[in-house]
């Protein structure tokens, strides 16, 4: 029977089962705008040049190596770091003993932003979202008992990348390990910081110079070390769909190639050691297709620079399961979500993988949740048998068609970026950030309406939440770090340190390799903050403009009755008080994730609020001052990195000191339920945890305003 006759028979049977509904009713459109049919056949692959390819052969769509996991499974990593270097070291050593095969270090936000732990701006951030590193002494403790000539170390660091990488190099030296023996990856992807994560320090131009200096130094001295891990993960976490993640990540990679070539390097000197870092979410088959498409497109992009070494065109990637998909509600569902995402990463052909812990929607992972996350990977590797076959889904009509669709749609966006002059110029125009924020707002509107099901959040909710253990980082961690800094400054040769710091400043101003100068300063026990300040004297500290997009949330909200009811209440408030309800949305501390505040600001503006959105990285005093100067009714605080118990009470205290205790304070974000009572006692009037519909939070904020003013 021919395929054409089989399709006719299928259509007839399906039509009977649909009882009069058209076959097209089974089609659905993904967030990427790709139409997915209920059935795919060989006809859907006709003419595609992506199908007849094998793993390990150009264009590497089916895998970067010929034998893939049949020969060597992906590296099991756990992205972890918390509190002090000593506690993190104990955690790493236990994980390595339990089957983890590489380290992935998470640094606290003070370190990311180039501040020492004693800086007044980081009072609520030290040790909260990662490990606090102030000097090479901390780095030595972090890796004590871990042979750095044998264990691959991945470090997620971009802003303070120079002192952190230098600290790792010097710690290894003092362990007896040569630079040429070090294996691992430094993320060193500053462009995505300006796009999404926001843990930048310096403006874009000097930041790109730092990237080039690191590539140049490591190409010469550290042949086993990956100098850039081009990150799509945070682009996804900020709200991008798979096409946007693919296009923006690869466009970032192309920009780094240009920067390195402009710095005098040959494409084959560095391209084989560029790596990628993708995020994988819950659209299972789309995530698999995305990783395949990315390899195909990267081969094509690098080919434009005429490499002689075939390895230059091979995309190798680390993958992390989505943190955004984790829910506070019914949290054990997160184990299933992470398992599906991990399997998608494996079937997509990742080279290493981090699986998130089920409790990360409310706190840092505990020993138990970390073990479950790590064992998820071990079970997939050793029990599921997916490692026995190279690219087991290769040839699937659906997967191949999806892969081709992502390639086609991502190319359109990358062509648009090229017309703007490349990714750095595109970032300056605001285009990529705007696209990501629109995507996030539309996704939130679909979830709030129940169009996109989140089990336990907007469907199949349980009445009694199951309490889970929460890891709490005490404020004493900062005191320990400050004591260590003071001890270092007493014992070191401060004159020699000062000369080394002045050399960094001169190099920043006049030229030379900044990593080389930083290593010299770190050997003398200069701190992360001191090195960062030495460059800031020349480069300055970057402040991004913030803005509120309009219309994206409400345009996706088809149940206009909900939006209209809320708008009517804001209009009533205006009529009775002479002003619209005005809210300041702020993100205090050094956490740069801004998806939450951007979505809330956008939705509230669409509902009829006047919305002020603060600059990133405010102190409580700065937020209070802005609230008073803008004469707002409400301050909405977004919290993600465990600083809420320090920063929110301080904000309320500052408002009272300014005579503005009539301003209502509400809080949203990653806040453990066990902390709710503490915040209410401090004066918070509303708390909106992960999974709260924006319309529900707006309803409650309006109720607070109506009670107070009407």
Measured at the alpha carbon of residue 459, what is the angle toward residues 636 and 371, in degrees to the nearest 5? 80
Rounded to the nearest 10 degrees, the angle between the axes of helix 644-657 and helix 620-629 is 40
- Average pLDDT, integer, range 222-245: 93
* Residues 503-536: tens digit of each pLDDT: 999 999 999 999 999 999 999 999 999 999 999 9
pLDDT at 484: 94
SS3 (DSSP) at 100: coil
Catalytic hit among 112, 254, 299, 587: 587
CA distance 445 to 239: 12
| Collapsed DSSP state (helix, strand, coil) of residue 349 | coil
pLDDT value of residue 361: 79
Question: Maximum Cα–Cα distance for the chain, whole Å?
Answer: 86
Residue among 539, 542, 538, 522 nearest 530 (CA): 522
- Supply the pLDDT for residue 559: 67
Structure-block tokens of residue 90: 């104990």
Q: One of 591, 606, 610, 612 is an active-site residue; which one?
A: 591
Give the DSSP letter of residue 193. I
Please report the pLDDT score of residue 510 as a whole number. 96
The string of pLDDT tens digits covering residues 67-123 is: 999 999 998 887 666 678 898 899 889 888 888 777 889 899 899 999 999 999 998
CA 661 – CA 524 distance, rounded (Å):
49
Q: How far apart are CA 381 and CA 526, in angstroms?
A: 43
**What is the chain's length?**
710
**CA distances in angstroms from 281 to 219, 244, 373, 459, listed in the order given:** 34, 13, 15, 19
366, two tokens: 């505990």
234 is catalytic: yes
**And the tokens for 27?**
């089609």
With residues binned 3-state (H G I as helix, E B as strand, rest as coil), the percentages for the chain, rounded to 5, are 55, 10, 35
Using the 8-state DSSP alphabet, how is residue 480 labeled?
H
- d(CA 234, CA 323) in angstroms, rounded, equals 10
In three-state secondary structure terms, 131 is strand
Residues 6+ apart with CB under 8 A from 334: 325, 326, 327, 356, 357, 358, 359, 360, 361
Contacts of 277 by beta carbon, 8 Å cutoff, 6+ apart: 187, 189, 229, 230, 231, 232, 233, 317, 318, 319, 320
Question: How do strand 664-669 and strand 634-639 relate by DSSP bridges?
Answer: parallel
In this predicted structure, what is the pLDDT of residue 220? 92
- The confidence score (pLDDT) of residue 62 equals 95
Percentage of residues of the chain with pLDDT beyond 90: 69
Helix H or strand E encompassing 375: helix 367-383
Instruction: Please report where in the chains the tokens 């180039």 appear, as a residue.
Output: 114
**β-pair partners for 320:** 279, 354
Which runs of consecutive H residues, i.e. helices, occur in 393-513?
A: 397-419, 423-429, 431-449, 476-491, 494-510
Catalytic residue check, 593:
yes
Instruction: Quote the pLDDT of residue 596.
Output: 81
Cα separation, 185 vs 187, whole angstroms: 6
Catalytic residue among 69, 168, 225, 233: 233
Nearest residue to 271 via CA among 254, 251, 290: 254
Among 299, 318, 433, 593, which one carries the catalytic annotation?
593
Determine the number of helices (DSSP H) and then strands (DSSP E) in the chain.
28, 16
pLDDT tens profile 353-404: 999 999 887 777 888 888 999 999 999 999 999 999 999 999 999 999 999 9
Adjacent-strand bridge partners of 279: 320
Nearest one of 519, 516, 487 to 171, comparing CA atoms: 519
Q: How far is CA 244 from the centre of its chain?
A: 14
CB 400 within 8 A of CB 51: yes
Q: How far apart are CA 215 and CA 269, in angstroms?
A: 9
Q: Match 């991008």 to its residue by tokens.
A: 240
Q: 642 preceded by cis ω (within 30°)?
A: no
233 included as an active-site residue: yes
pTM (2 decimals)?
A: 0.87
Query: What does the pLDDT look like over 203-212, one tens digit per residue?
Result: 998 999 999 9
Which tokens belong to 506? 């001169």
User: pLDDT: is 476 or 261 the higher one?
Assistant: 261
The half-sphere exposure of 340 on its side-chain side, counting CA atoms within 13 A, is 14
Q: Give, to the nearest 10 degrees, the angle between helix 242-262 and helix 431-449.
A: 160
Catalytic hit among 234, 254, 318, 354:
234
Taking residues 145-159, what's their average pLDDT? 93
Nearest to 637 by CA among 626, 365, 629: 626
Residue 568: how many other CB atoms lie within 10 Å:
11
- CA distance linking residue 343 with residue 384, whole number of Å: 10
Active site annotation includes 591: yes
pLDDT tens-digit readout, 173-218: 999 999 999 999 999 999 999 888 889 999 998 999 999 999 999 9
Mean pLDDT estimate for the chain: 92
Catalytic residue among 60, 69, 79, 296: 79
């Amino acid at each position: 029977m021919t395929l054409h006759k089989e399709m006719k028979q299928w259509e007839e049977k399906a039509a009977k089962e649909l009882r009069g509904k058209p076959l097209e009713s089974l089609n659905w459109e993904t967030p990427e705008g790709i139409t997915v049919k209920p059935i795919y056949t060989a006809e859907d692959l006709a003419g595609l040049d992506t199908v007849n390819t094998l793993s390990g052969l150009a264009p590497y769509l089916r895998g970067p190596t010929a034998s893939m996991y049949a020969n060597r499974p992906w590296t099991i990593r756990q992205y972890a770091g918390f509190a002090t270097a000593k506690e993190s070291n104990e955690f790493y050593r236990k994980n390595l003993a339990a089957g983890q095969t590489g380290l992935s270090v998470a640094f606290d936000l003070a370190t990311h932003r180039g501040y020492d732990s004693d800086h007044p701006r980081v009072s609520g951030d030290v040790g909260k979202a990662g490990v606090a590193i102030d000097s090479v002494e901390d780095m030595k403790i972090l890796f004590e008992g871990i042979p750095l000539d044998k264990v691959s170390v991945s470090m997620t660091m971009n802003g303070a990348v120079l002192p952190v990488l230098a600290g790792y190099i010097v710690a290894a030296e003092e362990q007896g390990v040569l630079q040429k023996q070090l294996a691992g990856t430094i993320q060193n992807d500053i462009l995505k910081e300006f796009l999404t994560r926001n843990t930048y320090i310096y403006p874009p131009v000097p930041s790109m110079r730092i990237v080039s200096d690191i590539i140049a130094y490591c190409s010469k001295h550290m042949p086993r070390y990956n100098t850039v891990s081009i990150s799509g993960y945070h682009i996804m976490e900020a709200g991008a769909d798979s096409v946007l993640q693919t296009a923006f990540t690869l466009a970032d990679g192309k920009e780094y190639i240009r920067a390195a070539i402009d710095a005098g390097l040959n494409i084959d000197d560095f391209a084989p050691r560029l790596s990628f870092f993708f995020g994988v979410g819950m659209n299972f088959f789309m995530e698999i297709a995305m990783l395949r498409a990315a390899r195909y497109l990267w081969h094509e992009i690098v080919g434009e620079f005429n490499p002689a070494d075939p390895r230059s065109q091979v995309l190798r990637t680390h993958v992390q399961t989505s943190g955004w998909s984790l829910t506070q509600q019914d949290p054990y569902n997160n184990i299933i979500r992470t398992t599906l995402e991990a399997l998608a990463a494996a079937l997509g052909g990742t080279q290493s993988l981090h699986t998130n812990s089920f409790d990360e929607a409310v706190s840092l992972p505990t020993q138990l949740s970390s073990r479950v996350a790590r064992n998820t990977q071990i079970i997939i590797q050793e029990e599921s048998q997916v490692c026995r076959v190279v690219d087991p889904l290769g040839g699937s009509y659906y997967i191949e068609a999806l892969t081709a669709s992502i390639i086609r749609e991502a190319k359109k966006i990358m062509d648009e970026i090229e017309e703007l002059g490349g990714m750095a110029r595109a970032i300056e125009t605001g285009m990529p950030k705007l696209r990501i924020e629109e995507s996030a707002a539309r996704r939130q509107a679909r979830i709030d309406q129940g169009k996109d099901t989140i089990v336990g959040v907007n469907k199949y909710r349980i009445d009694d939440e199951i309490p889970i253990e929460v890891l709490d980082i005490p404020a004493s961690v900062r005191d320990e770090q400050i004591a260590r800094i003071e001890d270092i400054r007493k014992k070191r040769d401060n004159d020699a340190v000062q000369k080394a710091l002045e050399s960094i400043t001169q190099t920043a101003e006049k030229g030379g390799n900044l990593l080389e100068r930083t290593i010299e300063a770190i050997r003398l026990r200069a701190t992360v903050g001191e090195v960062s300040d030495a460059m800031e004297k020349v480069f300055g500290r970057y402040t991004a403009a913030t803005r509120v997009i309009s219309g994206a949330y409400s345009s996706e909200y088809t149940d206009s009755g909900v939006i209209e009811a809320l708008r009517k209440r804001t209009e009533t408030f205006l009529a009775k008080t002479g002003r619209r309800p005005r809210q300041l949305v702020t993100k205090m501390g050094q956490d740069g994730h801004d998806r939450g505040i951007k979505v809330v600001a956008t939705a509230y503006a669409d509902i009829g609020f006047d919305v002020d959105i603060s600059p990133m990285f405010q102190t409580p005093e700065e937020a209070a001052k802005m609230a008073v100067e803008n004469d707002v009714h409400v301050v909405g605080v977004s919290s993600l990195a465990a600083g809420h118990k320090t920063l929110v009470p301080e904000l309320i205290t500052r408002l009272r000191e300014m005579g503005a205790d009539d301003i209502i304070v509400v809080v949203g974000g990653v806040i453990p339920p066990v902390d709710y009572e503490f915040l209410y006692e401090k004066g918070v009037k509303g708390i909106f945890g992960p999974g709260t519909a924006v319309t529900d939070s707006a309803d409650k904020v309006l109720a607070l305003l109506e009670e107070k003013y009407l």
